[in-house]
Structure 1
Amino acid sequence: MVKRWIYKDFPEESDVIRLSSEINVNKTIASVLLQRGIQNFDHAKKYFRPSLDDLYDPFLMKDMDKAVERIAQAIKQREKILIYGDYDVDGTTSVALVYKFLKLYYPNCEYYIPDRYKEGYGVSQKGIETAKEKNIKLIISLDCGIKAIDRIATAKSYGIDFIVCDHHLPGEDLPQAVAVLDPKRKDCPYPFKELSGCGVGFKLMQGFARYMEYDDNELMNSLDLLAVSIASDIVPIVDENRILAHFGLQQLNKKPSPGLQALIDLGNKSRMTISSIVFGIGPRINAAGRIAHANAAVDLLLAEGEEEASFLANKVNENNTIRKNVDSNITAEAIKMIEENDPSFDKKATVLFKSDWHKGVVGIVASRCIDKYYRPTIILTESNRKATGSARSVHGFDIYEAISDCSEYLDQYGGHMYAAGLTLDIEKVDAFKEKFEKIVEERISDEQLIPQIEVDYMLDFDQINFKFFNILKQMAPFGPENMQPVFVSKDLKICERPRILKEEHIKFKVTQEGSSTVMEAIGFGFAQYFELINSGMRFRMAYTIEENNFKDNKSLQLYIKDIKFD
């Protein structure tokens, strides 16, 4: 697939020289930092040396005072508290973090995760009825609840109070809860708006600990859960999220909870990063709710002993194996449908419906289809006699807004710019599809239908060494809005015949015209370039720089993002 290379704006030379001198780095590093908003020594210090002291005061969040006072009242009156969370990684880590901390000081707590298939996303009627039966007086909802106006009103009529902890965009009206904690509220002065759902739950517990004058060291011991949430929910890794992810990853690599350690062991990872969470831990936790019930994920995250954790992790891993087989088969079906229904491939969007597809993997299938065809995609299946599914988007296109403009066909919908969920009557699918495809065609640009690679800097091979790499490494954790630096080098040629690995990947040694430096490069999924590379043709390459550690022999390696031939 052809990709666009988008070069970031080059900073002013005077700014580059100034920052380079202030923090004693070369001009390339200074340029990359300036592109990320690091303007001076103080910015650089906070960026390279994150501190928990720089976390914001939780009481800056609207309704925090009401929330902690209501929890304190519940404890004083010995009321039952229900910790209610969504069934994905963000929801289950949120529940585990809040439940684990509250339980230290108050045993009369339970947790509840809705069944993806029987109850659907968010606060469910069954959840409210269960709370009523158990004489619950306070529900803390995590990663959901901001739009559950009717359900929370029902709970109120039952004498059940709600504290909503959410990070999704609110609607015009807020639920009738005792407190609504959501930094995206228009009237919320909290300085950082991009917390994960687990992040909002963490701030609630931080505020609660301060209000009750508890030691919050135990809360900081759960930052490994928060790092998993931040990575898996693809929130920007800047500002407060960067601090929390930094220390959460430290804990994951030093002393994670038994449940997370068991998941790390299954993945055979020696060092955890944001990327290894996204591709290793996250999918395994998610699989619990996709294939069975997400309670298994919370049980695992709360496991106290190694033996229990290992047993539960293996159960979750079995579900992940099933999930991989299911999503692989459905993806193949979906791609076949696209090819049969759209032989000219000139459509700007994809909407597919098949009644027997597994509801738990439609979001993954949508992402897989985008990997192949790169256009906004909605995958729908049948559940409870309705069409329900997930939407995924491409860079720069707001799929949530497009779906909102088709709301006359929908029972419910919610989500973000790049991912959303929706439910509608099966007989309305065709009409919805027609309008959605028309909206996308009118609004999306041709450029948005071509995947892009953001390039930080044009680099000469002679600059690549361990000193340079060690500074780049300190820019981690990498993720949205703080991605790993991507470089481009030109006038490249191979030094020896390339090797094909597992029929899909390519590995070769490469040098640059006028340079004596030889680098090893590896391209995952780039085997199709073998003949062109082997021909001796000069090329340009976009790549990241990684450390390769083979039998304690460390070397630098270029991970190919794309190749263009001259």
Structure 2
Amino acid sequence: MLLPPVYDPVLIRSLAASLNIAEMGAALLLQRDLTTEEGASHFLFPDLTRLHDPFLFPDMEKAVARIAEALRGKEKICIYGDYDVDGITAVALLVRTLQDLSAEVEWYIPDRLKEGYGLSDKGIQDIHTRGVGLIVTVDCGITADQEIALARSLGMDVIVTDHHLSRDPLPEAVALINPKLPGSPYPDKDLSGVGVAFKLASALQQRFYHTDSASEHSLPLYLDLVTIGTLADVVPLLGENRILVHAGLDQLKRSGCEGVKALLLESGLYGKPMTGSAIAFSLTPLINAAGRLGEPAMALRLFLTSSTDEAKTLARELKGFNVKRKALDQAITEECIGRIEASPILLDSAFLVLASDQWHPGVMGIVASRLMERYGRPALLLSIENGVARGSARSIPAFHVLDAITTCRDLLIDFGGHRLAAGVEIREDNIPVLSDRLNRFAQTALSGQTLLPVVQTDLAFSDLDALDWETLHLLKRFEPFGAGNQKPLFYVPACRVMGSPRLLNGGHLKFRVSAGRTTFDAIAFRMGHRLNDLVKGPVTLAFHAEENEWNGQKNIQLNVRGIA
């Protein structure tokens, strides 16, 4: 279902005049709730000097003091992180920051398949045998009260840096650095895990280098890591996230990290314009693939190595993992679609829950996202092994998936997440009850809503004639795009498909489309099932306008996201 944009032409003209920008730009600003000249200016011109003071975190002083104590006493410090891109980049950032301060620092990343998410007893015991005195968590730990109690009983202190939602009881740690803690005065609640780690690193820089600027000393050298992790974690690209990613994309072009350079070469991005979309879709899947298939340490070694040759070897291996991941992803997605289409019960479900003992646990989140996008409703995918299922849920914006899952906590071994994504662990025999409860919760919460994929557009044109290079230049001012600042979607009715659309490998559609006097190439990813709609006659399209380069020639291409 395509929804045309809604905006006030009077407000658009007023904001356009005050900012001296095109009305199209003013419309996009208003849709982002940027209604004042100051707010719009801050958005269009992100600046590192507008970052908040890291000591606004109530426990930051305690965290810095404990790390300073460890440095003076030459204690071993271990950075304990999650296995996804956000966690891996956060570990790399703090390891390198502490190495800059001459710390004796180690790291630990759990095995996704054997240990699962977050702190584990196995991990704590392993770290204890290394003689570690202080553990600093990144992108995890805020719900690990029992594991942190174990660490304390073994004589280790713990500092938690995390961005996930907490639950009672809070862990008894030296410091809890999390913008989402109840009552936290920290202004920006939407930092990624690596973003929170950056704030700790920034506080350390201020204390040890006696500076109040994030643009001095070695810290900005790691904005490339902050950018990769933030884009991968799909947090809103507004506020501090926008500032960090905007600066980090520029730094990626001249990154001093051998691992980052090798990844850019392997993904084909080296020397090309750095955009949020390019990093999210071409680079982060390579890093994620290692964690999904059980080798997250490989990606971390890539970010920590100073050897060009080792970095190139590791990047090639990550690319190989990603090829395997894609094959698993596609096969399981196709199986799920087949099961849903063959089942009236599943087609009527307000919350899709599917499970199998044949699915690789590392791709449950990806497949859940695919199903959520295709069917316009929350989805939970579970991989079963030895009577226990582990999986991931993904949700539409109108539905708080963690709230739904929390109502089923009596059925679960473990769970966690946020509004749009969550992870669960459950006994196999409890899955039917979980499915029933989640469906009833979703039916109530989504009552009156049509469960179809909804595409909300930003700008409507009567034809394609207004789309030109000047338009694309304007759109670049809104980069970086991502969650909270999506790439603008154009809405154009009565588009004529020229010639015969081509169905490509992977279920993609390639075609040429005309409206008015203008014709463009168009690509529709994973929309092969809409081929007949294109053949039947004129269609309404929702699309992103993108620059495409082929054989040295640049042209405007439509990236189609909706067909009606």
TM-score normalized with structure 1 length: 0.92
Q: Is the 8 A contact 2:92 2:304 kept in 1?
A: yes
Residue 294 of structure 2 is matched in structure 1 by 292
Residue 187 of structure 2 is matched in structure 1 by 191
Q: Deviations over 1:86-143 (max 9, x none)?
A: 1111111100011011111124110001111222111111121122212211100000
Aligned mates of 2:328, 2:163 — CA distance in 1: 30
Instruction: Identify the range of structure 1 (102-111 vs 44-53) with the bigger mean alpha-carbon deviation.
Output: 44-53
Aligned mates of 2:255, 2:310 — CA distance in 1: 17
The one-letter amino acid paired with 1:57 is D
Aligned mates of 1:286, 1:174 — CA distance in 2: 29
Q: Is the 8 A contact 2:94 2:201 kept in 1?
A: yes
Q: Deviations over 1:40-89 (max 9, x none)?
A: 44333322221111111111112111111110011011111011001111
The one-letter amino acid paired with 1:508 is R
Instruction: Identify the range of structure 1 (460-469 vs 235-244) with the bigger mean alpha-carbon deviation.
Output: 460-469
Give secondary structure in 1 for the equivalent of 2:318: helix
* 1:156 maps to 2:152: yes
Give secondary structure in 1 for the equivalent of 2:327: helix
How many residues of Structure 1 are paired with residues of Structure 2 in the alignment? 555
Which residue of the other structure, out of 471, 492, 503, is the alignment partner of 2:474? 471
Alpha-carbon offset, residue 199 of structure 1: 0.3
Which residue of the other structure, out of 60, 63, 66, is the alignment partner of 2:59? 63
Give secondary structure in 1 for the equivalent of 2:393: strand
Which residue of the other structure, out of 104, 109, 126, is the alignment partner of 1:130? 126
Instruction: Identify the range of structure 1 (191-200 vs 39-48) with the bigger mean alpha-carbon deviation.
Output: 39-48
The one-letter amino acid paired with 2:459 is Y
* 1:480 maps to 2:483: yes
**Pairing 1:22-33 to 2, within 5 Å after superposition:** 22-33=18-29
Residue 420 of structure 1 is matched in structure 2 by 422
The 1:530–1:79 alpha-carbon spacing in structure 2 relative to 1, beyond 3 Å, is: closer
Residue 512 of structure 2 is matched in structure 1 by 508
Residue 2 of structure 2 is matched in structure 1 by 4
Residue 234 of structure 2 is matched in structure 1 by 234
Aligned mates of 1:530, 1:328 — CA distance in 2: 19
Which residue of the other structure, out of 420, 433, 436, is the alignment partner of 1:434? 436
Aligned mates of 1:166, 1:552 — CA distance in 2: 44
Aligned mates of 1:39, 1:377 — CA distance in 2: 35
**Pairing 1:13-412 to 2, within 5 Å after superposition:** 13=10, 15-213=11-209, 216-255=216-255, 257-269=257-269, 270-342=272-344, 345-383=347-385, 385-412=387-414
TM-score normalized with structure 2 length: 0.92
Q: Is the 8 A contact 1:292 1:319 kept in 2?
A: no
The one-letter amino acid paired with 1:10 is Y
Aligned mates of 1:110, 1:391 — CA distance in 2: 32
Instruction: Identify the range of structure 1 (342-351 vs 268-277) with the bigger mean alpha-carbon deviation.
Output: 342-351
Alpha-carbon offset, residue 448 of structure 1: 5.5
Q: Is the 8 A contact 2:509 2:531 kept in 1?
A: no
Instruction: Identify the range of structure 1 (324-333 vs 301-310) with the bigger mean alpha-carbon deviation.
Output: 324-333
Aligned mates of 1:533, 1:385 — CA distance in 2: 46
Aligned mates of 2:210, 2:530 — CA distance in 1: 60
Q: CA RMSD in A?
A: 2.3
Aligned mates of 1:344, 1:157 — CA distance in 2: 48
Alpha-carbon offset, residue 6 of structure 1: 5.1
Alpha-carbon offset, residue 358 of structure 1: 1.7
Alpha-carbon offset, residue 533 of structure 1: 4.9
Aligned mates of 1:328, 1:115 — CA distance in 2: 24
The one-letter amino acid paired with 1:45 is S
Give secondary structure in 2 for the equivalent of 1:111: strand
Aligned mates of 1:472, 1:197 — CA distance in 2: 28
Alpha-carbon offset, residue 268 of structure 1: 1.5
| Deviant stretches of 4+, over 6 Å | none
Q: Is the 8 A contact 2:2 2:457 kept in 1?
A: no
The one-letter amino acid paired with 1:89 is V
Q: Is the 8 A contact 1:506 1:530 kept in 2?
A: no
Q: Is the 8 A contact 2:411 2:430 kept in 1?
A: yes
The 1:492–1:156 alpha-carbon spacing in structure 2 relative to 1, beyond 3 Å, is: same
Aligned mates of 1:506, 1:210 — CA distance in 2: 52
Q: Deviations over 1:308-327 (max 9, x none)?
A: 10111122222222222233
The one-letter amino acid paired with 1:169 is L
Q: Is the 8 A contact 1:231 1:479 kept in 2?
A: yes
Aligned mates of 1:271, 1:139 — CA distance in 2: 38
Q: Is the 8 A contact 2:139 2:163 kept in 1?
A: yes
Q: Is the 8 A contact 2:237 2:480 kept in 1?
A: yes
Q: Is the 8 A contact 1:258 1:306 kept in 2?
A: yes
Q: Deviations over 1:325-349 (max 9, x none)?
A: 2333333333344345546722222
Instruction: Identify the range of structure 1 (100-109 vs 225-234) with the bigger mean alpha-carbon deviation.
Output: 100-109
Give secondary structure in 2 for the equivalent of 1:307: helix
Instruction: Identify the range of structure 1 (36-45 vs 243-252) with the bigger mean alpha-carbon deviation.
Output: 36-45
Residue 523 of structure 1 is matched in structure 2 by 524
Aligned mates of 2:393, 2:534 — CA distance in 1: 37
Aligned mates of 1:532, 1:141 — CA distance in 2: 50
Alpha-carbon offset, residue 4 of structure 1: 3.5
The 1:304–1:165 alpha-carbon spacing in structure 2 relative to 1, beyond 3 Å, is: same
Taking every aligned residue pair, what percent have the same amino acid on both sides? 37
* 1:447 maps to 2:452: no
The 1:314–1:446 alpha-carbon spacing in structure 2 relative to 1, beyond 3 Å, is: farther
The 1:466–1:60 alpha-carbon spacing in structure 2 relative to 1, beyond 3 Å, is: same
Aligned mates of 1:264, 1:367 — CA distance in 2: 26
Alpha-carbon offset, residue 383 of structure 1: 4.0
Aligned mates of 1:186, 1:409 — CA distance in 2: 26
Residue 543 of structure 1 is matched in structure 2 by 543
Alpha-carbon offset, residue 517 of structure 1: 4.2
The one-letter amino acid paired with 1:219 is L
Please list every run of 5 or more consecutive structure 1 residues that lacks an aligned counterpart in the other structure.
none
